[in-house]
Amino acid sequence: MTHYDFDSVIDRHGTSAVKIDGLDRVFGRHDLTPLWIADLDFAVCPEITAALQHRLSHPVLGYSEAQDSYWQSIIDWNSRRHGFDIAREELCFIPGVVKGIALAVNYFTQKGDAVVIQPPVYTPFRTVVEGNGRRVVENPLIFDGEHNRMDLEGLEELISLEKPRLMVLCNPHNPIGIQWNAETLAELARICRKHGVIVVSDEIHGDLMLGGRAHIPFLSASDDARAIGIMLGAPSKTFNIPGLVSSWCVIKNPELRRDYFKWLEVNEFSAPVMISTIGAEAAYNNGEPWLDRMLEYVQENIDFVCNYVSEHIPGLKVIRPEASFLLWLDFKGLGLCHREIMDMLLNKAHLALNDGIMFGSQGEGCARLNIGTPRCVLENAMENLRCAVECVCREKHNCNCNKG
Ligand SMILES: Cc1ncc(COP(=O)(O)O)c(C=O)c1O
């Protein structure tokens, strides 16, 4: 069995990595442990690098077209991994998942139209909609102190009131890490179909299921879902190749896809880039053993953080994800205001985490931690966090200042 090394720290400085080289720009300092933007610090599986190197050893890099084997690798992957069947004509390339959302928003809605999102959720769901002159209408998740769930009653009321044309679903959900169950997805689809709402389902984290759980593609939930659904997927998170920008879109309903796929094609939005098809095909065909081991490592990292926090940082709540490598940390139990929490993370713990408010106002008092990094990095980070929490809580207690 091949041994994959997830423990070694790889120096990513000077590789134009947003996560490292973007620290100063985003956080205003560079002496931080980068545990924010959602890519992994692990080396990609050797088969991907080999396929890319092989192609790049040819001296001509002219126009290229995707081969049948590329499309087949996506179809086989979904069938093998998720029991989800895709026909070739239902599938098209998109130049990134966020761009896939943007393309659908631009094609299917008009300026001023309402688009539903479910915060706290991945920031571009809001910025893409608002940046294109559409209106975000919120159907926030409901947190009962332990679990998050969808507010489906609220969704139907919101849709009746705001008459949105489109909803952007995150399945599994970033930043909370929930894989929505089939009943929830089917009910969401029923409501949306009844009211003529198209659902764009972002499933970029769908291959990263933890603990043997199954991913449930939205389009597999029901006939309603297949009538109104646009599924977006990618090997980018799965195999740590977001820099290659290789994503795809599936639409089952021929009426929904006919003109849309044509529009993507004439504008060449669906023309794959050579390097992305090569990376994706190698990943889907040969990357499974790497992925399975990587998911075990990620699960061990999650267990490490959860155990560390329950032992050493009382008052901090960690939401255990069902999928992916992002942990939602709820600091509200520490009795600090949001500004104090963010200041503590940055200036005391020296950690670059995503500010919870980026995901919506529901993220107040929270932050997102990317644990897709070698264990030793995480051990240091948790130690720094523990010291920072102790220090800030002690200072606060001593000076008895206001929460603000
Ligand atoms: C839910 C979700 N969608 C999309 C993306 C980004 O996808 P892409 O790089 O293909 O635009 C991310 C990255 O973190 C994400 O978490």
pLDDT at 399: 63
Question: What is the second-level CATH architecture of the domain 64-286?
Answer: 3-Layer(aba) Sandwich (3.40)
Spatial separation of the C-alpha atoms in residues 135 and 42, rounded to whole Å: 38
Closest CA to 338 of 283, 403, 294, 390: 403
Query: How many angstroms is it from 371 CA to the middle of ligand 1?
Result: 16
Q: How does pLDDT run across 68-87, given as a tens digit for each residue?
A: 999 999 999 999 999 999 99
Give the number of other CB atoms < 10 A from CB of residue 45.
23
* Ligand 1 atom, smallest distance to 98 CA: 11
Which residues contact residue 234 at a Cβ distance below 8 angstroms, ignoring those fewer than 6 apart?
96, 97, 204, 242, 246, 247, 248
* Ligand 1 atom, smallest distance to 242 CA: 9
* Ligand 1 atom, smallest distance to 324 CA: 16
Grade residue 404 by pLDDT with cuts at 50, 70 and 90: very low
Q: Is 204 helix (H, G, I), strand (E, B) or coil?
A: coil
Mutate to test the pocket of ligand 1, among 201, 204, 245, 248 (most ligand atoms within 8 A of CB): 204
HEC string for 333-344:
HHCCCHHHHHHH
Q: How does pLDDT run across 2-48, given as a tens digit for each residue?
A: 899 999 999 999 999 999 999 999 999 999 999 999 999 999 999 99
In order, the DSSP letters of 64-110 are ----HHHHHHHHHHHHHHH-----GGGEEEES-HHHHHHHHHHHH--
The answer to whether residues 93 and 272 touch, using CB atoms and an 8 Å cutoff, is yes
Say if ligand 1 is within 6 A of residue 171 CB: no
Helix or strand (DSSP H, E) at 318:
strand 317-319
Say if ligand 1 is within 6 A of residue 101 CB: no
pLDDT at 383 over 80: yes
Domain boundaries, the chain: 18-45+288-399, 64-286
pTM: 0.96
Q: Average pLDDT of the chain?
A: 96
* Ligand 1 atom, smallest distance to 96 CA: 10
Q: How does pLDDT run across 277-334, given as a tens digit for each residue?
A: 999 999 999 999 999 999 999 999 999 999 999 999 999 999 999 999 999 999 999 9
Say if ligand 1 is within 6 A of residue 174 CB: yes
Query: How many angstroms is it from 142 CA to the middle of ligand 1?
Result: 23
Q: How does pLDDT run across 120-166, given as a tens digit for each residue?
A: 999 999 999 999 999 999 999 999 888 899 999 999 999 999 999 99
Give the number of other CB atoms < 10 A from CB of residue 148.
18
Q: How does pLDDT run across 344-366, given as a tens digit for each residue?
A: 999 999 999 999 999 999 999 99
Q: How does pLDDT run across 244-253, given as a tens digit for each residue?
A: 999 999 999 9
Say if ligand 1 is within 6 A of residue 38 CB: yes
Spatial separation of the C-alpha atoms in residues 139 and 162, rounded to whole Å: 11
pLDDT above 90 covers what percent of the chain? 96
What is the homologous superfamily of the domain 18-45+288-399 according to CATH?
A: Aspartate Aminotransferase, domain 1 (3.90.1150.10)
For atom 13 of ligand 1, the residue with the nearest CA is 38
Query: How many angstroms is it from 265 CA to the middle of ligand 1?
Result: 22
Query: How many angstroms is it from 359 CA to the middle of ligand 1?
Result: 13
